[in-house]
């Protein structure tokens, strides 16, 4: 079976609907923009995982990031599927898991007393890049939520994920450049 279908050649794509009937929308539809940005974030986390395998081999962290990638597929599903009557797959427990990971990492970090530069190491810089894409995805979901009903837990998950990625970047940057005293 070929990967190409030619169905999108005129600038439209199909949204999944629970009853199996595909609804076609323009590729620049806010819903497509939102889940497309989540897909971009997922790819960046995949890049981060591949870089960590050589520089920071930690099986538990790799599994945590893999779990995040899987949850992002659920976020994408929730965003690509009209909310009613589809069951939503991102739940209140998903952000809570990220909070536990953030707390665990924060215990090992010095207190944050100023803005920091998004640098420190290659993996920390990629993590900061993923954080900024996560924030963009969050903005896209907020915009989408003004137009259609969305699963609010998908938005909460993205908000917490950006905090997780910031904390992970600080963890990965330990020993590298992190402190930046911002002045006007």
- CA distance linking residue 67 with residue 26, whole number of Å: 31
Taking the CA of residue 70 as centre, how many other CA atoms within 13 Å lie in the half-sphere pointing to its CB? Answer: 7
Residue 150: HSE in the Cβ half-sphere, 13 Å Cα cutoff: 27
Cis peptide before 85 (omega within 30 of 0): yes
* Inter-residue long-range contacts of 143-152, CB under 8 Å, 24+ positions, other chains counted: 143/30, 143/34, 144/30, 144/31, 144/33, 144/34, 144/79, 147/30, 148/30, 148/31, 148/82, 148/83, 149/82, 149/83, 149/84, 150/78, 150/79, 150/83, 151/78, 151/79, 151/83, 151/88, 151/89, 151/90
Instruction: List 175's β-bridge partners, or say none.
Output: none
pLDDT band at 82 (very low <50, low <70, confident <90, very high): confident
Q: Which domains does the chain have, with CATH numbers?
A: 25-173 (1.20.1200.10)
Average pLDDT over residues 98-107: 96
Q: Smallest Cα–Cα separation from 24: which of 11, 36, 5? A: 11
Q: Report whether pLDDT(184) > 60.
A: no
The whole-number pLDDT of residue 6 equals: 77
Most confident of the following: 44-58, 71-85, 138-152: 138-152
Mean pLDDT, residues 48-76? 91
Phi, psi values for residue 42, rounded to 5°: -60, -40
Contact 43, 55 (CB under 8 A): no
Q: What is the pLDDT of residue 175?
A: 62
Matching residue, tokens 């609010």: 152
Q: Nearest to residue 65, comparing CAs of 37, 43, 83, 87?
A: 43
Who wins on pLDDT, 65 or 111? Answer: 65
pLDDT over threshold 70, residue 106: yes
| Whole-angstrom distance, CA of residue 62 vs CA of residue 76 | 21
**17 contacts 82 by C-beta, under 8 angstroms:** yes
pLDDT of residue 15: 76
**Taking residues 9-21, what's their average pLDDT?**
73
Q: How confident is the model at residue 99 (pLDDT cuts 50, 70, 90)?
A: very high
């Amino acid at each position: 079976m070929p990967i190409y279908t030619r169905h999108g050649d005129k600038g439209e794509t199909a949204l999944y609907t629970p009853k199996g009937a595909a609804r076609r929308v323009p590729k620049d539809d806010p819903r497509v923009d939102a889940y497309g940005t989540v897909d971009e974030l997922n790819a960046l986390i995949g890049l981060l995982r591949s870089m960590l395998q050589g520089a920071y081999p930690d099986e538990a962290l790799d599994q945590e990031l893999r779990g995040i990638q899987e949850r992002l597929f659920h976020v994408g599903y929730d965003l690509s599927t009209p909310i009613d009557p589809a069951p939503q797959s991102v739940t209140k427990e998903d952000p809570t898991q990220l909070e536990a990971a953030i707390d665990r990492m924060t215990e090992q970090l010095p207190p944050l007393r100023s803005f920091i530069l998004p640098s420190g190491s290659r993996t920390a810089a990629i993590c900061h890049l993923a954080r900024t894409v996560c924030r963009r995805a969050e903005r896209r979901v907020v915009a989408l939520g003004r137009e259609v009903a969305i699963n609010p837990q998908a938005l909460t998950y993205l908000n917490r994920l950006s905090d997780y990625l910031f904390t992970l970047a600080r963890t990965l940057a330990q020993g590298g450049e992190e402190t930046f005293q911002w002045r006007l």
